Amino acid sequence: MDKLDGLLTDILVRVQNARIPDEKKADIYARISAGMRSLVWPILISRMPEQKLAETVAAPQMTMDQYVELVESALKNPETPKDIQDQITGALTEIGEILTKNGIAPAAS
């Protein structure tokens, strides 16, 4: 298991095992999900070919194929996955620290 997987698994187990209401757990999961999207999308968009992105945005509708093509074009840049992993690893580390500060103990190894 790589570092990113380990961090995410630890957080999910910690939240699942926490003695807090299920609604609070759902809120934590939703915030993590929204946070991850807010980290990933700017990286992807910055690596999409400008012309292709402009054309797609200007179109009245975006097809699933166009969406996939844009994302794949961003992922072709070898820096994209690395930047995404670095950002998510940093965010998950911070989330783990926040959970600890709020009394949600680290998962048992």
In terms of Cβ atoms closer than 10 Å to its own Cβ (0-12, 13-18, 19+), residue 89 is: middle
Confidence class of residue 109 from pLDDT cuts 50, 70 and 90? low
Q: Are 80 and 43 in contact (CB under 8 A)?
A: yes
Asked whether the predicted pLDDT for residue 1 surpasses 60, the reply is no
DSSP single-letter state for residue 62: -
User: What percent of the chain stands above pLDDT 70?
Assistant: 96
Confidence class of residue 32 from pLDDT cuts 50, 70 and 90? very high
Dump pLDDT digits (tens) for 62-87.
Answer: 889 988 999 999 999 999 999 999 99
Q: Which helix (H) or strand (E) holds 5?
A: helix 3-17
Residue 57 is predicted with a pLDDT of 85
CA distances for 70 relative to 25, 47, 63, 74, angstroms: 33, 9, 11, 6
